[in-house]
């Protein structure tokens, strides 16, 4: 089939139609293409609507098309936009964000302000599979649209120290020693580095608990001096991986690391959530907090307190709420600071009964968004300003529709490109009464 690429959609693919005006306007999803291109595709079997097709060749390329920087692009499931220049990627995401909000009925959109930084080597955390291929241990990811293992020899979106650690792991695994046997037993590895790659935390995911983990960590530290702590976690049996979490079985060295953002030091325990882009975090914090001050602010879904600490400089009292709040409880202390370990829904239900009303509420929910109940409670509490940080434009659009129906207006709309080369995007929305 010959198709013309019409527009990009959220998820990495593009909508395409036959280029002939008289042809039926039947939409087809095609990955690794750009608007305006004429392409040849091979239709895929299946009942998807729109239909899906595999790209065969580009007949008329876009001016925005470039040579991908990674040898594994299109085979690996991690990146989606390496064939587009970085300005084109930002334009694509801006268009998708605007279209998603319009489609949901969110009206009166302000101009979208885009924030970018270096598009490579930005990830401070990566989790990779470890498998033996023809007797040689390799690290890798899933092949695109499958669970099949793809061995890799580079990952240019990850911090250089992450890849050096992967190479060290494979080196140790070839050694005939307790450390080597421990390394060879890994099924997955997660590596997390600090802001300037000064320190590193590692988690080895294994199928069977071993007694040679300390020897492995000592050997790894000889090759990677930045390694300050590591843990081993036992993966659940096959078939139960969606219902059971890995169980920690060993620990070595420090249990976390310090990460500096916006002139604040954050403690992140090994495995704890933290934003992945090491180049844009200062700017993200500034967008959320700069120029905001008053008596009371709430930071909901606070994580380790990324926004709470900076808000505490300009508000007399800041309440930070997090479901798994161990790091937050231990570090967000002092006059005018209160850390609460609870779900946002539980906290807001209690706050409504107590008739608390802050001037500012910051929300940074997971991909599922806020949901109807939280939006309704926010509307009842009715702060003067809500700053919504979102990693999913679809759930963001749903929630904004609810919040604007309760009287809020969109005052600012920011696209923060925390995930270059992928379709993922971070959005910051400022809502005011």
Q: Is 232 exposed, middle or buried (0-12, 13-18, 19+ CB in 10 A)?
A: buried
Q: What is the mean pLDDT of residues 33-62?
A: 93
pLDDT above 90 as % of the chain: 92
Q: Where are the domains of the chain?
A: 2-65, 103-118+277-432, 125-260
Going by C-alpha positions, the residue among 231, 223, 206 that lies closest to residue 172 is 223
Other beta carbons less than 10 A from residue 57's beta carbon: 7
Decide if 103-118+277-432 and 125-260 have a common fold. no
Residue 200 bridge partners (DSSP): 193, 227
- 24 pLDDT above the threshold of 90: no
Helix (H, G, I), strand (E, B) or coil at 308: helix
- 285 pLDDT above the threshold of 80: yes
The pLDDT of residue 143? 97
CATH number of 125-260: 2.40.50.1070
Q: Give residue-wise pLDDT tens across range 209-244.
A: 999 999 999 999 999 999 999 999 999 987 777 778
Count CA atoms within 13 Å of residue 280 on its CB side.
Answer: 26
Q: Give residue-wise pLDDT tens across range 392-424.
A: 999 999 999 999 999 999 999 999 999 999 999
Q: Give residue-wise pLDDT tens across range 336-390.
A: 999 999 999 999 999 999 888 999 999 999 999 999 999 999 999 999 999 999 9
CATH architecture assignment, domain 103-118+277-432: 3-Layer(aba) Sandwich (3.40)
Q: Give residue-wise pLDDT tens across range 139-177.
A: 999 999 999 999 999 999 999 999 999 999 999 999 999
Inter-residue contact 215 to 204 (CB < 8 Å): no
CATH architecture assignment, domain 2-65: Beta Barrel (2.40)
The alpha helices in 145-272, defined as continuous H runs, are 160-173, 178-184, 213-223
């Amino acid at each position: 089939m010959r198709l013309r690429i019409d527009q990009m959609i959220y998820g990495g693919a593009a909508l395409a139609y036959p280029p002939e005006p008289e042809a039926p306007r039947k939409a087809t999803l095609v990955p690794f293409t750009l608007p305006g291109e004429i392409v040849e595709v091979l239709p895929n079997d299946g009942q998807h609507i729109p239909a899906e097709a595999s790209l065969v060749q580009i007949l008329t390329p876009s001016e925005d098309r470039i040579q991908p920087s990674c040898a594994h692009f299109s085979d690996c499931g991690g990146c989606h936009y390496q064939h587009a220049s970085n300005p084109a990627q930002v334009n694509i995401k801006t268009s998708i964000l605007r279209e998603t909000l319009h489609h949901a009925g969110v009206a009166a959109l302000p101009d979208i302000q885009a924030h970018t930084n270096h598009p490579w080597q930005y990830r401070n955390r990566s989790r990779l599979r470890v498998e033996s291929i023809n007797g040689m241990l390799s690290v890798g990811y899933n092949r695109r649209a499958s669970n099949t293992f793809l061995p890799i020899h580079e990952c240019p979106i990850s911090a250089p120290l992450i890849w050096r650690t992967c190479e060290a792991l494979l080196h140790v695994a070839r050694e005939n020693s307790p450390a080597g046997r421990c390394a060879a037993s890994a099924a997955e590895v997660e590596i997390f580095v600090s802001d300037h790659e000064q320190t590193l935390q590692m988690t080895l995911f294994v199928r069977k608990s071993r007694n040679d983990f300390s020897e492995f960590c000592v050997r790894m530290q000889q090759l990677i001096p930045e390694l300050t702590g590591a843990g081993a976690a036992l993966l659940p049996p096959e078939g139960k991986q969606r219902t059971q979490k890995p169980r920690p079985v060993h620990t070595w060295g420090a249990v976390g690391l310090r990460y500096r953002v916006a002139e604040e030091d954050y403690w992140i325990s090994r495995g704890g959530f933290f934003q992945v882009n090491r180049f844009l975090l200062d700017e993200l914090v500034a967008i959320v907090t700069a120029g905001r001050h008053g008596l009371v602010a709430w930071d909901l879904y606070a994580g380790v307190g990324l926004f709470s600490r900076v808000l505490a400089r300009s508000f007399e009292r800041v309440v930070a709420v997090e479901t798994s709040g161990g790091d937050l409880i231990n570090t967000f202390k002092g006059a005018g600071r209160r850390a609460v370990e609870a779900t946002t829904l539980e906290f807001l239900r209690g706050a409504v009964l107590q008739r608390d009303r802050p001037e500012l509420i910051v929300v940074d929910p997971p991909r599922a968004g806020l949901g109807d109940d939280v939006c309704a409670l926010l509307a009842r509490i009715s702060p003067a300003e809500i700053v919504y940080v979102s990693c999913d434009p679809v759930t963001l659009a749903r929630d904004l529709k609810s919040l604007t129906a309760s009287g809020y207006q969109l005052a600012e709309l920011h696209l923060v490109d925390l995930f270059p080369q992928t379709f993922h995007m971070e959005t910051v929305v400022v809502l005011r009464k």
